[in-house]
Structures are given as structure tokens and as C-alpha cells.
Amino acid sequence: MQKIAPKTPAELEIMRRAGRVVSKLLKFLESKVVPGVTTKKLDEKAEEFIRAQGATPAFKGYYGFPASICVSVNEEVVHGIPGKRALAEGDIVGVDVGAVLEGFYSDAARTFGVGRIDVSSQHLINTTREALYKGIDQAVEGHFLGDISWAVQEHAEKNGFSVVRDYVGHGIGRSLHEEPQIPNFGKPLTGPRLVAGMAIAIEPMLNVGVYDVKTLSDGWTVVTKDGKRSAHFEQTIFVGKEKPEVVTE
């Protein structure tokens, strides 16, 4: 049985502030996601924004990752490296960002449409966000970790999408990735019991086609095996006694 320590009230307070850094940044970046902008430009703006808040980008240098945000376009699932690519009307772009403030991490992701996007892409984005919140709703003391996993999977599959298996959510705190792992698929009433004050990042990745993924030769970018589109949403949250608290909204 995994042991997952809840955070102290003082730790949670720092994490709330770390969470506000990334939620404000994602709101800011949403307005910058327009046709013609390069993913590198988004990264530069993100790093500047995080540092201006007195925080440090969590991803830069993490296992050698070269940027402050992951930018994953269309069939890219996660861990896309910002670069010269210019976003085009109709693309969908997942932006994942983490920040460290006073030794504590926050982590969040959104998928944005670039200009006008097709109906199926919009459905994918909406369903991924909804699936995340179905999972978040389960993050209440006394529930099981598997309740979160199941809620995400059920909503995704009911809507005809598949759930990526190879990448999962995680505990978060003094490290970006702590125990436990939080799969986006599983069975209710399984896994560890949730206790108020646990800090976790829930992050469903939903695919239009098969759930299989592969990593490109850059060593980072994860894409769908069938080349169909994928979306990703993530929030850092605290398990609550009555209801969860989302700290990156």
C-alpha cells in the first residue's frame, strides 16, 4: 500500500500561491495563442511571466528539458518542445507548465484551439476538460484513488475517446512528481484511500483514435501512434474533507 502524506496547512498555503502563478500564466498564454505565433515565442513569454511573479519555471532543466513550457500541437500528446513552428488556424495546442515557489511545485495544463477549429476537435477539448473535472469531483476524503481514475476513463470512453495509458497524474509538493501515480483509467474502490490535504495533479490525455503513443526522435515529444489528435488538461488540487480545492484554476 502506498503511503501518501498530506501536506501541512502552511505547505498548502505556499502551494496555493504557486498554483496562482501557473493559473494566471495559462490565462495570459490563452490570449497569445493565435495563428502565426511560434511555440518558442509562447515559451519566452511564459518564462518571463513566471520569473516576474518571483517563481521559477519547474520544467526548464527537468531531466534536461530545454524550455519552461511543453507545447504539444494536434497529434502531439505531451512534452512537445517549443521551437520555430508557427501555430496555424485550426490547430489545437496543449500547453503544460509548472512553477516552483519557495520550494513548492504547481503543475497545470490546458488545450487551446487556434482560431476556428473543427467540431470534432472542440468536442475532444471539451470532453478532456470535463473528464478532468469528473476526476477532481472524486478527490474527497474517504474515496479511493481508483475512483478518480475510473471517473476520468468513464467520461472519456462514453464520448468515444481513448485514454492514454503511458502517462499519468501524480502527487506533487516539494517535488514535481511525488507518489502516488494517478492513472486516468482504472476501477472504482481500488488503490489507496484519499485523505484531506493530499496534493495531487490530475491530468487526463484523451485521443481521438487509439490510446497508443510513441516518442519522437527528439527524445521528448510524445505523439499518438495513429497520428490522430490528442488533448490534455491538468490541475493541481488538494483532496478535501467535503470537496476538493483546485489551486490552479
Q: Where on the chain is the footprint of Mg ion (CB under 5 A)?
A: 107, 201
Distance (Å, rounded) from C-alpha 98 to C-alpha 18? Answer: 9
For the bound state, the minimum distance from the C-beta of residue 116 to Mg ion, rounded and expressed in Å, comes to 29
Angle at 100 between CA 70 and CA 179, to 5 degrees: 80
Residue number, 179 or 226, with CB nearest to Mg ion: 179
How far is CA 69 from each of CA 25, 39, 63, 75, 97, rounded to the nearest angstrom?
11, 9, 14, 17, 5
DSSP letter for each residue of 130-143: HHHHHHHHT-BTT-
For the bound state, the minimum distance from the C-beta of residue 98 to Mg ion, rounded and expressed in Å, comes to 7
Distance (Å, rounded) from C-alpha 124 to C-alpha 162? Answer: 10
Residue number, 105 or 150, with CB nearest to Mg ion: 105
C-alpha 181 chain-centroid distance? 13
Residue number, 98 or 186, with CB nearest to Mg ion: 98
For the bound state, the minimum distance from the C-beta of residue 234 to Mg ion, rounded and expressed in Å, comes to 5
Angle between helices 145-158 and 119-137 (to 10 degrees): 160
Residue number, 33 or 70, with CB nearest to Mg ion: 70
Residue number, 70 or 92, with CB nearest to Mg ion: 70
Angle at 111 between CA 106 and CA 116, to 5 degrees: 150
Yes or no: say if 66 and 57 are a contact pair by the CB < 8 Å rule.
no
Residue number, 35 or 78, with CB nearest to Mg ion: 78
Residue number, 20 or 79, with CB nearest to Mg ion: 79
In terms of Cβ atoms closer than 10 Å to its own Cβ (0-12, 13-18, 19+), residue 19 is: buried
Widest pairwise Cα distance in the chain: 49
For the bound state, the minimum distance from the C-beta of residue 67 to Mg ion, rounded and expressed in Å, comes to 15
For the bound state, the minimum distance from the C-beta of residue 54 to Mg ion, rounded and expressed in Å, comes to 22
C-alpha cell at position 186: 482504472
For the bound state, the minimum distance from the C-beta of residue 41 to Mg ion, rounded and expressed in Å, comes to 23
Distance (Å, rounded) from C-alpha 123 to C-alpha 92? Answer: 12
For the bound state, the minimum distance from the C-beta of residue 170 to Mg ion, rounded and expressed in Å, comes to 6
